[in-house]
């Protein structure tokens, strides 16, 4: 199978030295890419700005912003050979907004206002879901190969209910929910405590595990998704 995995944060610049971002380090996504490659799958890792080594056997595409990440994912998904199942695992913490304007030169303090105008970024996972599961994208070509979509949900409250909502709204086969306020879970650490929420409504709460062990479980679930 082909795995397309997103990892890390995106950066949304307002001038060449200032940006909006988040604390994602890419550890979770790199673990998924590493395990999928170790299990013999073709793996493309679309990574935001992180300082991790590329796992063996993985093709890596470095990106900066959400729009760059969407373009790279679209290209990889469209390249999928017909008949070869493609799994999209979206572990990246994509910035939902970006500054409305990016200045070409560093803004002087006197040039900056106290409020920043933001615009919405594309939702990469939702866009790919629209193009593969519902064939409803007015502007972009539909992807025809069999595709399975796995999202992540970084939550601070109502973890399972929010994950269920995202699974439905983004047309996912499975979503991996993590409470990022819990000790040893979420951003930056080597462990994660996740709950798998499947399209059919079934739920598996996993104990605190290393991100590598979580990745093994996710890749196995993905393999089971494909007939």
* Stretch of 33-41, 99-107, 138-146, 186-194 lying at the interface with ligand PMT (CB under 6 A): 186-194
The answer to whether residue 131 forms part of the interface with ligand PMT (CB under 6 A) is no
Helices (H) and strands (E) in the chain — how many of each? 5, 14
As given in the structure block, the two tokens for residue 106 are 């560093």
Count of residues of this chain found to bind ligand PMT when the rule CB under 6 A is applied: 29
The answer to whether residue 63 forms part of the interface with ligand PMT (CB under 6 A) is no
Among candidates 83, 65, 86, which has minimal Cα distance to 128?
A: 86
Convert 88-115 to b/e letters by CB count within 10 Å (16 or more is b).
bbbbbbbbeebbeeeeeeeeeeeeeeee
Q: Is there a catalytic annotation at residue 171?
A: no
Listed in sequence order, the residues at least 6 apart from 110 whose beta carbon sits closer than 8 Å to its beta carbon are: none
Using the rule CB under 6 A, which residue among 20, 33, 94, 197 binds ligand PMT? 94
The answer to whether residue 166 forms part of the interface with ligand PMT (CB under 6 A) is yes
The residue among 1 and 123 lying less far from ligand PMT, judged by its C-beta, is 123
Contact yes or no for 7/92 (Cβ under 8 A): yes
Element (H, E) at 128: helix 124-129
The residue among 55 and 186 lying less far from ligand PMT, judged by its C-beta, is 186
The residue among 107 and 199 lying less far from ligand PMT, judged by its C-beta, is 199
Using the rule CB under 6 A, which residue among 55, 85, 129, 186 binds ligand PMT? 186
The answer to whether residue 178 forms part of the interface with ligand PMT (CB under 6 A) is yes
* Category of 81 on φ-ψ map: left (φ > 0), alpha (ψ -120 to 50) or beta: beta
| CB atoms closer than 10 angstroms to residue 22 | 17
Q: Restricting to residues 14-33, which ones interact with ligand PMT according to CB under 6 A? A: 24-28
* Stretch of 79-87, 109-117, 120-128, 200-208 lying at the interface with ligand PMT (CB under 6 A): 120-128
Strands in the chain per DSSP E: 2-7, 12-15, 18-20, 42-47, 58-62, 86-90, 97-99, 118-120, 147-155, 174-179, 191-192, 194-198, 203-205, 209-210
The answer to whether residue 215 forms part of the interface with ligand PMT (CB under 6 A) is no
* Stretch of 56-64, 100-108, 147-155, 198-206 lying at the interface with ligand PMT (CB under 6 A): 147-155
Using the rule CB under 6 A, which residue among 43, 77, 153, 219 binds ligand PMT? 153
The answer to whether residue 195 forms part of the interface with ligand PMT (CB under 6 A) is no
Distance CA 115, CA 108 (A): 15
**Catalytic positions, written as ranges:** 22
Q: Which residues bind ligand PMT (CB under 6 A)?
A: 6, 8, 24-28, 66, 90-94, 96, 121, 123-125, 151-154, 166, 178, 180, 186-188, 192
């Amino acid at each position: 199978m082909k795995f397309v995995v997103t990892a890390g944060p995106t950066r949304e610049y307002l001038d060449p030295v200032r940006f909006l971002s988040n604390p994602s380090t890419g550890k979770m996504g790199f673990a998924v890419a590493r395990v999928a490659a170790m299990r013999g799958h073709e793996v493309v890792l679309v990574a935001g700005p992180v300082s991790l080594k590329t796992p063996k056997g993985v093709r890596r595409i470095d990106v900066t912003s959400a729009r760059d990440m969407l373009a790279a994912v679209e290209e990889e998904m469209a390249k999928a050979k017909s008949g070869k199942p493609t799994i999209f695992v979206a572990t990246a913490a994509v910035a939902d907004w970006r500054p409305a304007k990016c200045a070409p030169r560093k803004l002087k303090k006197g040039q900056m206002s106290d409020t920043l105008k933001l615009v919405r970024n594309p939702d990469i996972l939702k866009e790919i879901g629209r193009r593969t599961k519902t064939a409803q994208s007015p502007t972009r070509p539909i992807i025809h190969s069999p595709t399975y979509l796995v999202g992540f949900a970084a939550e601070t409250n109502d973890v399972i209910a929010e994950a269920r909502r995202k699974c439905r709204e983004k047309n996912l086969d499975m979503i991996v929910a993590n409470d990022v306020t819990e000790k040893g879970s979420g951003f930056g650490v080597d462990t994660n405590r996740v709950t798998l929420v499947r399209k059919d409504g079934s739920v598996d709460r996993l104990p605190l595990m290393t991100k590598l062990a979580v990745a093994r479980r996710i890749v196995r679930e993905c393999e089971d998704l494909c007939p």
